[in-house]
Every structure is written in C-alpha cells, then in structure tokens.
Structure 1
Amino acid sequence: MSKITNIPSEIRNFFSEKRRSIVMDTFTRLLEGLNLDTRSLGGLKRENCQLTNLQVFQILLLLPFFAIKGFSHYDGSVLCRMFGGKKDILYSYLSQDNVNWRNVVYRITNWLLTKVTVRQDHKKSLLPTVLIADDTDLPKTGMHMESIGKIFSHVHQKCILGYKALMLCWSDGRTQFMLDFSLHGEKGKVDGKEQGLTSEQRNGRYERKRDEKCHIAKRKEEYFMSKGVKLLDMVKNAIRNKIPFDYLLVDSWFTCT
C-alpha cells in the first residue's frame, strides 16, 4: 500500500461492487468524515513505520468491525493482508505519550452527536439527554504494571489488586457515547505499605520516564485525585466541548460531603 493512500478509500477499492455492503460503505464514509488531522494523532508518522499515524488510527477503529478480538489477532487477519505491518505497529502507536486522547474522543463524539441530534426521533423524544457517571473496579493479576496497587472493592468488600475507573458517557435514551474516563488508585493508610504494597513490590512495577509536559504525564497526575473532584472536572470539560445535556446521573455516594 502506498504511504499516502487513505485507508477508507483503500477499503472501498478492496471490496468489489457486488460484495460491498451498505454497512461497510457507510462506515468508510464515517471514517473519512471524522476529519482528524495528523497533529492531533501524534504527528505524521513514526520512525521505521510504513503507515502514518492517521492510517494506524483508522486500522484501530476497524478492528472490531472485522471481528478482530485484539492486537494479537491482527497478524494474518484480512486487515493485515490489506494494509501490511504486524501487531507491533498497533502497540507502539498506543504507547506514544504525545496524543491527547481526550481531545480525540471529544472530536469524534461531537461529530457523532451532530448526526444524532438532527434525527426526528431525537427531536420528538420526550426523554431528557443526560450525562451518566459511574465508577468500577478493574481487577488485575500481575504486578508489572504502572502504578498498580491495592484498591478497596465495594463489590467484594475487600482490598484487591487493580485500578479504579471513572467513566462519563452521554445518552438520549436511545444512543449512548463514551465521553471521558480516568484511572485512579488509593494511597492506603499504612506507613511503609503505600497502595497496600511492600517496597519490593512497588519497586518491581513498570516505570517509564516521560516529559512532564506530555499528555500522559498530565493524566497520571489524576491518579490519586478524588473521584468526586475528577467528576466535576469531567463535567466542566463536557460543557466546554458544548455537549448538550439536561441532567447528570450519578450514584448517591458522589453527592456525599
């Protein structure tokens, strides 16, 4: 494939007129309509990669639509045969520190909302549009992960190894979009066992040096932030991005003093 070939156009050429479904045709037009620039996706391309960052990003979006369950299944798949490369191009792309994923997600969501809010079923609906916030446990079994630690699980009523995830989505009662998410940890209350781990366990975790001004470093600063405080920040960000909503739906504990 040519380095300057646009992937959606290439997909359209790959399928013959008889085989091309309406769904695929619509999806490729959707990808083209997102109009994401290379700067917001980490620049033009990375060294030793035959694909641009925009092309790799488009492959990532296509994976579930081709029933590719994960990066490890990319090799040998129809997408791999079409566009080349190995699974490493996907892993290395997502390991970049200079992509503002919050901005990318909001740009996609805003574009999708413009398509949803003009529909007659949305305009005639008596249901309110809402932001929905919720938190959940992300249990893990290995220690070689960045900032991994013990968290208190209200589901299991005990401390488990993992992360806490806080998520914000938008819904009109028919359609739902993810807007934002953050990962959180708990410092713990025992001196010498921060995050419920021994010093040996903490030293054995994955660590990576980053530019303090990069987007990933900024997100890491949220790690020990209160989820209530972070939720307020998320809602303000949704307002700045002109997301329309009537109510914010949360669990009752979010409103505690």
Structure 2
Amino acid sequence: MPVTMKSIEQIDQQNETKSLISSFTNLIGLAKLAKKVNFKRKSSISLSMIISWLMSVHFARHSLYRANKDDNFSIRTARNVLNDGRINWQKLLCLVAAKLISILKPVIDKRRRLAFIVDDTLMSRAFSKKTELLAKVYDHDKHEFLTGYRGLTLGWSDGNTFLPVNFALMSTKKKSNLIGSKPITTDERSIAGRRRLQAKRQMNDVTVELINQALKSGVPAKYVLFDSWFTSPRMFWLLKQLGLDGLGMIKKSSKVYYSYRHRLYDIKGLYDHLAASKICKKNHYLYSSVVIAQYQGHEFPLKVVFVSKRGSKSNYLVLATTKIALTPQQIIQMYGRRWEIETYFKTAKQYLGLNKSQIQSYDGQCGYIACTAITYDLLAWQERQNTDDKTMGDLFFIMNESLPEMKFIDALVYLITELKQIESDTKDEINEVLTNFMVNLPTLIQKLIKPIV
C-alpha cells in the first residue's frame, strides 16, 4: 500500500507540473513564437512541445540522457532541436521576456525606473575537452584560469521581479586559450555563424548588441546597471546612443581621467580633492559631484557618488551614472538592484542545472541556456503571483498599487556587503537571498525543484 500511495502522489505531482508548464506556455504564446525564431522542423513536433518537455526535465533534476522521454517524441529528437543552428535562441528569450513584461505592465507603477542588469558568470566544463569553442577563462573568485565559458547575461528588473531577457555564451579569440574544437561555421549569413563570431568578440561590445536586440524585441527599460568590469566612458557613451542611461561602479584606475572644475583628475585624485575641500560628508555617502567624461572627442556629464564603509577611510566605492538628475540616494538604491542577477545565477545553477549541460555542440548549449532562462521566467512569474495580493479576480486591475521597491537602507547594506567582498567570501549572503526567493515561491514549485548537491 505505501508503494501504491507513493506512485499516486508522484503521478499527481507530474500532472500538476504539466498543467503549470502548459499554463505558462499558453500565457506567453510560445507556440506562436516558433516562426519568429526560425524554427523550420517539418514534423508534427512543435518547438513548444520540446521546450515544455525540457522545462519538466529541469524541474525533475535530470540530465537529457537520463530524463523520461515524452510520449510524442524521443530524447534524441529533443537533442536535435537544441543542436539546430538555425534557431535564434537569443531572440526567443527576448520575446518571452517582452511578453511577460507586457502582462506585468498593469501593476507596475509608471514612476518605477525599469532597468537592464548586465553581468557574466563562469560556465565550467572541466571534463569536456572536445566541446566546441571550449576555452580557458579566468575565474575572478578563485583568481585562476578554468576550463569553460563566460555566460554573459542581460536581465530586466522593475525593482521586484527579475527576468533574464538575453544571453551570449562567450569563448575566446586567442588561439592559445582555445581548448575545444574550432567552430563548425563562421558564415555571417547564418544565425549559427553570427552566434559563433559573437562568442569571440569583446564582452562589452556584445553587451551593447544584446541590449539593442532586447529593445527591438519590445523590452522596455531606461537604465542599464553593471559592475566595474563593464564600466567605462565608452560604455556610458554607447548606451547613451541607444537612449539609455548607464549606472555602474567605477574602477579606481589611474588611466581614466575626468574633468572637474576645468581640471583633470583620476577617480582617486578626485576623491582626495573632495576630501581636502570643505565639503561635509553626508550620512549615507561621502561625496557627490558632477564631472565631465570623454570618449573619442565626445564630452558628456557624469554624476559620481562616493560610498564608504563606516570606520574606514581607504575603503570606498564609486558609483556613476549619466542620469545626473538622480539624487545620490536614488543612485545607491538603483545600483542595489544589481544583486538580483546574482540571485538568478545562484538559482539557475543550484536548482536548474544551468552549468550541468552535457551537450557538446555550441548551438545545443545556447539552446539549453535559453530553456533554463525560460524556466526561471516561469519561477519568477509564480513568485510574483504568490507575492502580489492583486491576483484575485478584478482586484488585479482595480488595486494597481505596485509592490514596493528595494528600500534605500537595503541598497546601502548591499553596497557594504560588496565592500566586505574585498576581505571575505559572499557565499553566505547569496545563499540567504536565494533562500528568501525560494520561500516566496508556491509550495508546488518548492516541491518540484531540489538543490544541486
């Protein structure tokens, strides 16, 4: 009898999973997106069926080789679809995110600052020497070169919900760092060829391409948040040409100069100048000033904010944005949202097996990442449904107060946490944020996904 009851519970859970995935795919109109992303398989098996099955595989915590096959197609068929170089996986993720955002729009306050968030993460592949475009990549946490890729990700946030909207699997252009096989094609006339050439370009250039593609797909945003790895006058200028304001952390470099009151300073020199002046330090930050940045003869204003760890004169962070109308408190609060993409990386790796792909082809890995991101979109949607009280009938439209944004003090705590990274690991902090994210999910979702050991 216990075995029978366990089987019944398992069947019920599988049916609930299928129902949940089916509702989500219908909500975003996944079946209608196939032609838009160049899916040209001549059979009764649709792209929506393949992705729905892959999402159930993520929930079951199985690899593609150990997953339960679908009644309508074999696992080999699913792998063939993932490996199809004609499918534009980046565009698919953009369109899915744009659809979800349009559904959320009625409950997003019009005063809310919508923002893109950019970051990259290590996609380790230590035992896949023959994988296409596999390379030696630098791990900033361990400070050593590892085998794998850099997973460049573009996310979207309204201050409550984070959605991955675009991605690129970055390799290397140095032949000495290339470990895996060479790209099977570099023909720029094909999607597969452009995807592989993109993997070998500079990450900042690819970031601008991903943002531009997301904007053209209908993803609304006015800001772009990034850490010091992406921050430069060039990045600020390129984003300004797209109609976006960048907001990031500036490196304390002695090679980049800014004009302040008709004199040039590097960022450390500017801090020393302000510290030596009679400007009083504020309660939540040290100093704030507007400087002039330059890129290829173009000049534009940049607002910089110095945030310091209390009790320390040498440890401070420097935030900067081209939106000079923002107050220092608003700049700190906005930058605090950048932590959401770290939560996504942790969730996708620990619960959805983002870096556990066993696929050898480069196209297949891109398809796997896209399906993982779409699965996370489902989780984010369910979390929003479970958190938002305005989902009861007409109240969803009548009570149009949006969920509260991150408080200023919380953003300040986040910045202090980043300062602590200089001396200690932040694994515990990320785990705490991840735990809070999981607790807010519906009970069904919590039962479906289990942490990766």
Would you call these one fold, judging by a TM-score over 0.5? yes
The answer to whether 1:218 aligns with 2:194 is: yes
The answer to whether 1:73 aligns with 2:66 is: yes
Q: Any idea what SS the aligned residue of 1:220 has?
A: helix
In structure 2, runs of 5+ residues without a counterpart are 1-10, 234-453
What is the match of residue 376 of structure 2? none
Whole-Å separation in 2 of the counterparts to 1:109 and 1:94: 20
Return closer, same or farther for 1:224/1:209 CA change in 2, 3 Å cut-off: closer
Whole-Å separation in 1 of the counterparts to 2:64 and 2:218: 34
Q: Deviations over 1:213-232 (max 9, x none)?
A: 32121110112211111112
Tell me if structure 1 keeps the 8 A contact 2:186–2:196: no
Q: Any idea what SS the aligned residue of 1:123 has?
A: coil
Tell me if structure 1 keeps the 8 A contact 2:185–2:192: no
Whole-Å separation in 1 of the counterparts to 2:81 and 2:186: 16
The residue correspondences of 1:70-219 to structure 2 (distance < 5 A) are 70-75=63-68, 80=70, 83-119=71-107, 122-123=108-109, 128-141=113-126, 142-188=128-174, 194-196=175-177, 205=181, 208-209=184-185, 212-219=188-195
Q: Which amino acid aligns with 1:133?
A: V
Q: Any idea what SS the aligned residue of 1:255 has?
A: coil
Return closer, same or farther for 1:38/1:170 CA change in 2, 3 Å cut-off: closer
The answer to whether 1:243 aligns with 2:219 is: yes
Displacement of 1:55: 2.5
Q: Which amino acid aligns with 2:115?
A: V
Return closer, same or farther for 1:241/1:58 CA change in 2, 3 Å cut-off: same
Tell me if structure 2 keeps the 8 A contact 1:97–1:216: yes
How many residue pairs match? The answer is 219
Q: Which amino acid aligns with 2:211?
A: V
Q: Which has the larger radius of gyration?
A: 2
Structure 2 residue aligned with 1:56, among 50, 70, 92? 50
Displacement of 1:171: 0.9
What is the match of residue 11 of structure 1? none
Q: Which amino acid aligns with 1:231?
A: T
Whole-Å separation in 2 of the counterparts to 1:245 and 1:30: 24
In structure 1, runs of 5+ residues without a counterpart are 1-14, 189-193
Tell me if structure 1 keeps the 8 A contact 2:118–2:155: yes
Give me the identity figure in percent: 18
Q: Deviations over 1:64-120 (max 9, x none)?
A: 35x2533223236xxx3xx2433212111100011111221122111111111112x
Q: Any idea what SS the aligned residue of 1:73 has?
A: coil
Tell me if structure 1 keeps the 8 A contact 2:97–2:165: yes
- Mean alpha-carbon deviation: is it higher for 84-93 or for 169-178? 84-93
Q: Which amino acid aligns with 1:36?
A: K
TM-score with structure 1 setting the length = 0.72
Tell me if structure 1 keeps the 8 A contact 2:94–2:217: yes
What is the match of residue 3 of structure 1? none
Whole-Å separation in 1 of the counterparts to 2:154 and 2:225: 10
Whole-Å separation in 2 of the counterparts to 1:59 and 1:210: 31
Q: Which amino acid aligns with 1:56?
A: I
What is the match of residue 28 of structure 1? 22
Return closer, same or farther for 1:243/1:73 CA change in 2, 3 Å cut-off: same
Tell me if structure 2 keeps the 8 A contact 1:97–1:210: no
- Mean alpha-carbon deviation: is it higher for 52-61 or for 86-95? 52-61
TM-score with structure 2 setting the length = 0.43
Displacement of 1:212: 4.9
Tell me if structure 2 keeps the 8 A contact 1:184–1:224: yes
Whole-Å separation in 1 of the counterparts to 2:122 and 2:176: 15
Displacement of 1:206: 6.5
Return closer, same or farther for 1:240/1:212 CA change in 2, 3 Å cut-off: closer
Whole-Å separation in 2 of the counterparts to 1:39 and 1:232: 25
Whole-Å separation in 1 of the counterparts to 2:44 and 2:186: 25
Displacement of 1:238: 2.3
Whole-Å separation in 1 of the counterparts to 2:15 and 2:134: 45
Whole-Å separation in 1 of the counterparts to 2:95 and 2:133: 29
The answer to whether 1:39 aligns with 2:25 is: no
Structure 1 residue aligned with 2:207, among 231, 234, 249? 231
